[in-house]
Amino acid sequence: MRLSAKFREQYIQHEMRTHGRKNGFVTTGQEARLLKWLPIVGLPKDKTLTMSKVPKNSPIVLEIGFGNGDFLVHLAENHPDWTLVGVEIYLPGVAKAVGRLEDASFIERTRITQLPAQYVLEHQIEAEQLDGVFINHPDPWPKARHHKRRIIQKDFAELLVSRLKQGGFIKLASDVSDLAEWMRVILDSTKGLTNIAGQDGYIERDADRVLTKFEERGLKAGRKSQFLHYVKD
C-alpha cells in the first residue's frame, strides 16, 4: 500500500485490538480519495468530534461498521440535515464509502474514521453528543467461544447510552437470529434504554430502508433480518 507512514500513523490504526479484518486491497484511485478526504473529514486519533467542527443544530448520527457505505449513502440522501459519523475498521470499506460519498456530494456532511467504534465512543465523542446510532448486521461470531468478540456487550451498551442525548435512538439489524437475540437481551437490560417494540420485541423493517450487502446476503441464504429500536429515556 502506498499511503505514507505519516498518513497511516494519523488515520489508520493497527495497534488497537479489534476482531475482524482491517486491511485489504485499496486501488490507486481509492488511495487518492483517502488522501484527499481524510485530512478534511477524517477523525485522526487525537481529534475529537467537537474539534472537527460539526455544524451547530445538526443532528449527529453515528453508523458503526458501515461496510462499503450502502447505508451511510442512504442516510445522507434521506436526511440532508444530519451530520453523519461513519466508523469502519476495514480500510477497503472506508475507501469505497469515501468514493461513493464524494460522488454523491455528501462527503462534507460526514466524519469518517477507520478507528474502532470502542475507541471513537470512548475518546472522540462526548457524553450526550449523539442523536442516534445505527449498527447494521454486526459480525455474528457464531462460535460460543467467540461470543465475547461481538460488538454488543454489556459495557459497550452502557458506553453507547452515555454518548446518546436524551431521546436519542439506537437502531440495529441482524440476519442471524442468535445474534439478534443476544443484542436484544443485553440492550433490554441496559439501564436508560426503552425497547420501542416492548420488552423482548423486534420492530418491523423500516419501509424506506436500503438493502445493505449483508442483509441481501442473508436473504439469499434464506435468513430474514430482525430489527431493534431503542430510545434513551
Ligand X SMILES: C[S@@+](CC[C@H](N)C(=O)[O-])C[C@H]1O[C@@H](n2cnc3c(N)ncnc32)[C@H](O)[C@@H]1O
Residues of the shown chain interacting with ligand X in the complex, contacts defined by CB under 6 A: 18, 20, 64-67, 87-90, 93, 116-118, 136-139, 151, 212-215
State the Cα–Cα distance between residues 159 and 191, nearest whole angstrom: 11
Q: How far is the CB of 139 from ligand X (least distance, A)?
A: 5
CA atoms within 13 A on the CB side of 189: 9
* DSSP bridge pairs for 133: 62, 170
Of 139, 175, 178, 200, which residue is the catalytic one?
Answer: 139
In terms of CB distance, is 8 or 21 closer to ligand X?
21
C-alpha cell at 118: 470502542
Q: How far is CA 154 from CA 73, 159, 204, in A?
A: 30, 9, 25
In the bound complex, which residue of the shown chain has the CB atom lying closest to ligand X? 65
Nearer to ligand X, 67 or 99 (CB): 67
Closest CA to 86 of 48, 51, 118, 117: 117
Interatomic CA distance for residues 119 and 125, integer angstroms: 9
Give helix then strand counts, H and E, for the chain: 8, 7
Distances (CA, A) of 171 to 12, 14, 183, 195: 27, 28, 11, 10
Least distance in angstroms from the C-beta of 199 to ligand X: 26
Task: Measure the CA–CA gap between 43 and 183, rounded to whole angstroms.
Answer: 27
User: What minimum distance in Å lies between the beta carbon of 163 and ligand X?
Assistant: 14
We find the least distance from the C-beta atom of residue 90 to ligand X, in angstroms, to be 4
All 3 cell numbers of residue 24? 485489504
Compare residues 131 and 215 and give the one whose CB is closer to ligand X: 215
Residue 189 C-beta: closest distance to ligand X, Å: 22
Taking the least distance from each CB to ligand X, the nearer of 138 and 168 is 138
Closest CA to 183 of 70, 65, 69: 65
What letter represents residue 149's amino acid?
A: R
Concerning whether 139 is annotated as a catalytic residue, the answer is yes
Q: Give the nearer residue to ligand X in terms of CB position, either 79 or 213.
A: 213
Catalytic residue numbers, as ranges? 139
